[in-house]
Amino acid sequence: MKTADAKKSYQNLKGMGLTGAHLRSIVYLLDLDQETCMPSAGIGYRADLRKLVSELRHKQMTSKKLKSALESLCSLDGEGKYAEQLTDEQKASVREFRRDYLRDNKLTASFIRKMSDATTHALDAWKIAKQNNHFRTFAPHLKEIVKLSQKKAELIGYKEHPYDALLDEYEPGTTVSFIDKVFSELREKLIFIVNKRKTMKSNQIDTSFFTKSHFPLSHQKELCTQIVKQMGLPQENFNLSETAHPFCSALCPQDIRLTTHYDMSDFRKAYFAAIHEAGHGLYEHNLPMEHLGTPLAEAASHAIHESQSRFWECFIGHSPAFWRNQYPKVKELFPGAFDSISLDHFVQSINTVNPSLIRIHSDEVTYGLHVILRYEIEKGLIDGSIQVKDIPKLWNTMMKEMVGVAPPSDKEGCLQDIHWSLGAIGYFPSYALGNLYAGALFVHMIKTHTNWEQKAASGDFIFIKDYLKDKIHRHGRRYTPIELIEKATAKKFSSADYISYLETKYVS
């Protein structure tokens, strides 16, 4: 093949990918609108629209045309052999195009329709079950979703454990054997920190001031918008609205939608959620536009994504340096609320460690334990060693054992999260991996930016955005998640950085 031909084939592939990206953006918009604006009775028709566009996208990404463009650039069987005329960057792009094609092609249109139908009904059932604290309302739907997920694992294929096939969708290349190893070490360390921290005086301060004042909505909105802009997301590129559960949805790098949830008696909820989602938003915003339509303009993985949001929320947003800059603003916006609270007291208060029932409201240390619990249950559901009907009891036992508290009800226990109703089995480990990746990045950043606290305290967060853009964002899916982190930190990845960060912060 001539270089000119390879270039042409690649452009051709990119064009088809761009149509796929457009269709995916439309699915995102359908979901975004459903959560933010749609009147409730619109749900049935919405499911039809979603199914139509998902099918069009699946068709587009598994079309004969795309296959033949791909085959002119690499072999589809075996390990894949790439046309030599491609640049290294293009080779990485074709590798990921190939990966997606092989995966998408294994999932039949009929399977996608079945999963789409099952999740539409499961989501409804989950909402009712959670509201009524009635696991049995949700159980038959979850059973169906587990069955379809097992089927999915079979369709996709795996070497060792069927859960590997599901993990691979969210965290390419990750396996049960890898996660088992990482999580078992993490679990032990986290439990150690939680228990030790409990006994420490610095953990026993009065934090009741957080919920003693009224925090007007307009001021909270102002605060959230300013911090998102200060983090480096330009005003013309984002919109911040309100939903029950905060999220970030990127239609394209220029069009980032963030949501948060306001609590009039605790400003922290909306504020930290806005920072978290803006962390996701910055990643999407800084993906390279010139590669739109290719995997080079897509996030590396869900865990890498989560590393970005947690980096901002926990490592930066809970640091003393950050609050040296933000605390005066917060005090000014909410006069009276924090008058007698010193900066030190405030920072200590946002960093207490307490056993908690709800994952999304848990502290940085306990958080990982919540995730590990879900991982263990999911793994068992998929390999058949755990039955759906046994989840509530198992959940409560594990919570007591790992976190130290058992939920008084299933809605504060196994019904709390939306993920299973969406069919997203295999997603949870990304949350904990994301923290580990963020830890590795943070340890590297503060080594290479020794004056980081001084800069952050002065209100300059742009260097952080630039650091993450340089190390993570601009690369898209060029490298595998682990490669990306190792390249960024110039060393082999391990959970040691994260654990030592936690130990230093909480129990030293």
Q: What's the min distance (Å) between Cβ of 258 and a second copy?
A: 10
Taking CB under 8 A as the rule, does residue 222 contact a second copy? no
Contact segment (CB under 8 A) with a second copy among 90-98, 251-259, 305-313, 408-416 equals 251-259
Taking CB under 8 A as the rule, does residue 386 contact a second copy? no
User: What would you measure as the largest C-alpha separation in the chain, in angstroms?
Assistant: 73
Residue of 1, 7, 12, 22 interacting with a second copy (CB under 8 A): 22
Burial class (CB in 10 A: 0-12, 13-18, 19+), 309: buried
CA–CA distance, 237 with 257 (Å, rounded to integer): 8
Among residues 67, 136, 131, the alpha carbon closest in space to that of 104 is found at 67
Task: Number of residues interacting with a second copy: please give it, by CB under 8 A.
Answer: 37
In this complex, which beta carbon is closest to a second copy, that of residue 132 or of residue 239?
Answer: 239
Cα–chain center distance at 234: 22
| 226 Cβ contact partners less than 8 Å away, ≥ 6 residues apart | 329
Q: How far is CA 172 from CA 74, 161, 396, in A?
A: 20, 15, 31
CA–CA distance, 498 with 71 (Å, rounded to integer): 42
Tell me which DSSP letter residue 466 carries: H
CA–CA distance, 325 with 321 (Å, rounded to integer): 7
In this complex, which beta carbon is closest to a second copy, that of residue 35 or of residue 180?
Answer: 35
Taking CB under 8 A as the rule, does residue 394 contact a second copy? no
Q: What's the min distance (Å) between Cβ of 255 and a second copy?
A: 3
In this complex, which beta carbon is closest to a second copy, that of residue 25 or of residue 207?
Answer: 25
Taking CB under 8 A as the rule, does residue 256 contact a second copy? yes
Contact segment (CB under 8 A) with a second copy among 20-28, 91-99, 148-156, 172-180 equals 20-28
Taking CB under 8 A as the rule, does residue 15 contact a second copy? no
Residue of 170, 215, 238, 395 interacting with a second copy (CB under 8 A): 238
CA–CA distance, 401 with 387 (Å, rounded to integer): 20
Ramachandran sector of residue 355 (left: φ over 0; alpha: ψ -120 to 50; beta: rest): beta
Q: What's the min distance (Å) between Cβ of 30 and a second copy?
A: 7
Give residues 27-56 in contact with a second copy (rule: CB under 8 A): 29-30, 32-33, 36-42, 44-46, 48-49, 52-53, 56
Among residues 145, 129, 267, the alpha carbon closest in space to that of 211 is found at 267
In this complex, which beta carbon is closest to a second copy, that of residue 277 or of residue 410?
Answer: 277
Taking CB under 8 A as the rule, does residue 19 contact a second copy? yes
Contact segment (CB under 8 A) with a second copy among 18-26, 151-159, 195-203, 353-361 equals 18-26
Quick check: 391 and 374 in contact, CB under 8 A? no
Catalytic residues: 277
Q: Which residues in this chain contact a second copy in the complex, by CB under 8 A?
A: 19, 22-23, 25-26, 29-30, 32-33, 36-42, 44-46, 48-49, 52-53, 56, 234-239, 241, 251-252, 254-257
